[in-house]
Chains A and B, each alone.
Chain A
Amino acid sequence: MIFTILLYSLTVILLILSLLMDRKKTIKGLKKAWKAFENILPQFLGIIVLVGILVAFLDPQTISGLIGTNSGWSGTIFAGLLGSVTLIPGFIAFPTAALLLKNGAGYMQIGAFVSTLMMVGVVTFPVEKKYFGIKASLVRNLFSFVFSFIVAFALGWVCSL
């Protein structure tokens, strides 16, 4: 809540500053902001409904079995694979991850899920390949996948302290 207030305060201050400095430029920026939002809105809405369906199907017991505190490395690898093939924006991913934690998922497993979700993109691979070629894209995703388990291990350790 405090972050929402901070975020709004920062935005309002910068917006006023920008308006004072250059009104035309600010309006251009706001138009760009709206366009960027409007561009991604269909995906946002679709994903929000889809995640609703997925979360409804996932009951706490299934989750704690698959990626629970006691699922160890196999649960962590499963969570990492799940994160790699999923594409959920952060504003849904984190509340969902929090919900999973509340329902019995382990920190290490959630760490692997969150990290691969952000760094590894199976769904976005075709786009990445277009720019960086197969080799660079493959190596980047592979390194990121492996690195996510270091992140998971660190999170599992720190959050258990």
Chain B
Amino acid sequence: MLDRGWRLFAIMVNYLVYGLGSLLLWYVVYPCTAWRVPPERREVYARFLSRGAFRFFIRFTAFMGMWRYHIEGAERLEKPGRVIIANHPSFLDVVLLFALTENAVCIVKPVLARVPLVREPIRRCGHVVADEAEEVLRKSVRVIREGASLILFPQGTRTPAGVRVRFHRSAARIALEAGVPMVPVYFRYQPSLLGKGEQWYNVPSTRPRVQVLVGEEILPDNAGGEPLSLSSRKLTRRLEAWFEVLEYDHGSVGR
């Protein structure tokens, strides 16, 4: 009970640190330093700052006792120009991926581009706003070719564990068009934390343990130049299967 009260307090502190940290980073640190960076390198610079801030944040929140995390295969997220796909059980998946991925660009929901505190990093880091499909595809391929790694949640929104894995095909399509490997990342929260419909003040009874499993690269295969509409369907099924296996392995254990 005492532990739970502490974690409720910790979560409030974490939110405060997140908010103030964002303000400090994007309205003070970035404007005061970015002028020294040539304009064409500024997005990469913003992503570098953002990664540093998220790294600090995950360590700080773990230190505060909000959660414990264990990462396997982190080095696979250091390579340039990958399409990174992950399941999305919690709000914190984004935080972890931004902390772990080098030169990360994310595809974000259009509503986020209007949220005051998030709008600024989206603009500075050049994250891709998911509005018009063709445009998103074009922009995504471009940032990957420039060396960024693109983070996508192909379930489209936060989805609890144990639900059948169904992906939008855009992730596969982007990887096929860009001709780059995909890196799958599986998140598992025990118990769940900040999932869809869960309020921040609903603190779980035990401290959540998060496992992050970064899988081996999956190479998109466009055999014999078949239409990408077909290859992306096949590739999406492969990706869904990769996540399904882990959901089966882990889904019921220890719940």
A and B assemble together: no
